[in-house]
Amino acid sequence: MRVLHVVLLCVVLGLGSRAPAVEEQVASARKVAGDLVQQLGARLRAELAQGNAESAIAVCKEIAPQLAGRLSRETGARVARVSLKTRNPLLGSPDAWEQRALAEVERRAAAGEKPETLEVSEVVEEPAGRYFRYLKAIPVQPPCLICHGTPEMIAPAVRERLRADYPHDRATGYTPGQIRGAVTIKQPL
């Protein structure tokens, strides 16, 4: 009888259908984040294959926000890239939830979890409403070091271009496997 009461309470409160809905939201968010990373990576690899690291900067500066904007329009969610060490504070500064999630994925990576598997998701109540939040870590890959590595790893011409394009750049000094930032998704519910 007690089990029946718990089941009825779950049905009345809508808890019976919440878990699958959240799982679907996570699966959808994973796909969107994966699409952004895959498309951005393909564009970066194409530029780097031509041997011009300076033109790869334009991919992150111009193409990445365009891709995130398109995915935002297609999904109705805010899709963006954020980091605790921003390159462009106007586009990449994390809000309070994203700061906590980024700190969590960095802690988990330091504890030995594989960086490419790190994600955080939850439903949150905010003053403006209820949202599904998702954050997927972007680990540093060897090609990232061309622009995000230690100062001695970054070619002088690239350093100059970064200095000109990003006067408040804090997104250097990384090594492979560290968390560069994350794709973040904020979906109104």
Write out pLDDT tens, residues 135-144: 999 999 998 9
Domains assigned to the chain: 16-188 (3.30.450)
What would the pLDDT profile of 34-72 be if each residue is shown by its tens digit? 999 999 999 999 998 987 788 889 898 999 999 999 999
What would the pLDDT profile of 144-162 be if each residue is shown by its tens digit? 999 999 999 999 999 999 9
- Asked if the model's pLDDT at residue 182 lies above 90, the reply is yes
- Stated pTM of the model: 0.86
Please list, in sequence order, all residues whose beta carbon lies within 8 angstroms of the beta carbon of residue 172, skipping any fewer than 6 positions away. 85, 147, 148, 149, 150, 151, 154, 162
Nearest CA among 41, 57, 59 for reference residue 159: 57
- Asked if the model's pLDDT at residue 7 lies above 60, the reply is no
Task: Tokens 């780097």: give the residue.
Answer: 48
Four-residue CA torsion sign, 69, 137, 142, 114: negative
What would the pLDDT profile of 14-43 be if each residue is shown by its tens digit? 444 455 688 999 999 999 999 999 999 999
Nearest CA among 136, 131, 163, 124 for reference residue 147: 163
Q: What is the pLDDT of residue 165?
A: 93
What would the pLDDT profile of 93-113 be if each residue is shown by its tens digit? 999 999 999 999 999 999 999
- Asked if the model's pLDDT at residue 13 lies above 60, the reply is no
The DSSP call for residue 85 is S
